[in-house]
Amino acid sequence: MIAGRSTSSRIFGGIGLYAAIAAYVIFALFPIFWTLKISVTPERLLYSEGITFWPSETTLKNFATVLE
């Protein structure tokens, strides 16, 4: 008889693997998201707002300044 892993062990092992992959993807993509968020935030709001997921106002002025 070949001893194998139980069904619950395989399920939790799979969930653990997907949780680790999801954590890695979030960790890897967060700096890109943060850079985009800061780049479209007007200068006057950079330090005046608390921590928000997305700024209340957005602008492309920062990109125009770089391209000048």
* 48: its two tokens: 């005046």
Hey, what's the torsion of the CAs at 29, 33, 35, 37, to 10 degrees? -170
What is the pTM assigned to this prediction? 0.66
pLDDT (tens digit per residue) in 36-67: 999 999 888 888 867 888 888 888 998 888 88
Residue 2, in any domain of the structure = no
1 within some domain = no
In a domain, 14, yes or no: yes
Report yes or no on 40 lying in a domain.
yes
30 falls within a domain: yes
Asked if residue 16 belongs to a domain, the reply is yes
Residue 57's domain spans which residues?
7-67
pLDDT in tens, 8-27: 667 667 788 899 999 999 99
Count of domains for the chain: 1
* 43 domain residue, yes or no: yes
* Alpha carbon separation from 66 to 12, 60, 63 (Å, rounded): 49, 10, 5
Q: How far is CA 49 from the centre of its chain?
A: 20
Tell whether 46 is covered by a domain: yes
